[in-house]
Structure 1
Amino acid sequence: MEIVIRQEKPEDYALVYEINEIAFGQNSEAKLVEALRKNKDVFIPELSLIALYKGEVMGHILFTKITILTTDGQYKESLALAPMAVLPQMQLKGIGSALIKQGLKKARDLGFASVIVLGHPAYYTKFGFTSASYYGIRPPFEVPENAFMAIELIDGALKESEGVVYYSKEFENV
């Protein structure tokens, strides 16, 4: 199955909204994507990617800037992987994996050092994510420890990053 991953374009926005709405069974994530696009402090156009199969958009992934406030008062930039959506009928066909792999590669190429994700541990560990608690990184809300994960795109990037992740205000409505 040939999957093409490319940067989202404005003409893709309506389809991306629909894919997120269908994949999640409601529109909170779709509205989150729209709100994050408007926040130029966190939105990185090159990290809003779509997956095409036979020329049709089947999935979307978004990485946006977040901050880790370390216990020693330093601010470390990282990325949030959220949301990622694949149409239900196209799940388990490698589209999500292709989006994650290409997204992580692009983030590394752009000079980002780490990514944080809240998701299914059995899935995200396949890509090198590990519990964020390994680095002493905590979420700003209650979640199962093993579901809050991190990956270093640059070796040692999360060394001395013990602290709390801060997401942009747009995440408060999800």
Structure 2
Amino acid sequence: MDVKIRPETPDDHREIEELVKAAFTSGDRNDPDEHHLVNKLRKTDAFIPELSLVAEMDGSILGHIMLSKIAIEEEGRTTGSLALAPVSVAPAWQHKGIGGKLIRASLEKAQGLGYQSVVVLGHDKYYPKFGFKPASGWGIRAPFDVPDEAFMAIELVDDALDDVRGTVQYSEPFS
């Protein structure tokens, strides 16, 4: 399977919207508004075009991932980080490694761009495969009530989160 990972282009937006919509309304997922998050994020300062990636094969987009800017805040101290959300794979292509390729590529690209950490709210059996650990281990909290094991972070630079504590502040589209 020859899947190419590349940054999205404006010409991809409609196909990405349909893909995200399908991915988040199939199987046990039921979030028919997730595609709106992608569109809203693109219109904010949190959007990083180089970190909105697609998985493409034979001219068709099979998956999409977006990392966007967030802040971790406590007692007047703010540390920049990234949120991994969403990651989407077309229903017919799920469980074939495409999501993993997108995650690895996005983390590598983020590190290359100088970002130091990424936070994700997700499946506690899936994201640890990529190095994510409970964010609480660093004293990082979600701004809403979630199971500790589902709110995770990864350091892209060794010890990047050692002195970071606080609550994640997502950009407005997440509210």
Matched, 1:171 2:165: no
In the alignment, the residues of structure 2 paired with residue 75 and residue 61 of structure 1 have an alpha-carbon distance, to the nearest angstrom, of 25
Which amino acid is the alignment partner of residue 38 of structure 1?
K
Alignment of 1:11-160 (within 5 A): 11-25=11-25, 26-39=31-44, 41-70=45-74, 72-160=75-163
- Give the paired residue count: 170
Where in structure 2 are there 5+ consecutive unaligned residues? 26-30
In the alignment, the residues of structure 2 paired with residue 131 and residue 7 of structure 1 have an alpha-carbon distance, to the nearest angstrom, of 28
Which amino acid is the alignment partner of residue 142 of structure 1?
D
Q: Secondary structure at the match of 2:69?
A: strand
Structure with bigger helix share is 1
Superposed displacement of residue 55, structure 1:
2.4
Which amino acid is the alignment partner of residue 34 of structure 1?
N
In the alignment, the residues of structure 2 paired with residue 27 and residue 122 of structure 1 have an alpha-carbon distance, to the nearest angstrom, of 24
Superposed displacement of residue 93, structure 1:
0.7
> TM-score, normalization: structure 1?
0.95
Q: Deviations over 1:59-87 (max 9, x none)?
A: 000000000003x4210000000001001
Where in structure 1 are there 5+ consecutive unaligned residues? none
Superposed displacement of residue 121, structure 1:
1.1
Runs of 4 or more, structure 1, over 2 Å off, are: none
113-122 or 25-34, larger mean C-alpha shift = 25-34
Superposed displacement of residue 138, structure 1:
0.3
Q: What is aligned with 1:6? A: 6
Which amino acid is the alignment partner of residue 18 of structure 2?
E
Q: What is aligned with 2:28? A: none
Q: Secondary structure at the match of 1:85?
A: strand
In the alignment, the residues of structure 2 paired with residue 121 and residue 88 of structure 1 have an alpha-carbon distance, to the nearest angstrom, of 21
Matched, 1:162 2:156: no
In the alignment, the residues of structure 2 paired with residue 91 and residue 129 of structure 1 have an alpha-carbon distance, to the nearest angstrom, of 21
Superposed displacement of residue 162, structure 1:
1.3
Give the share of equivalent positions with the same residue, in percent: 52
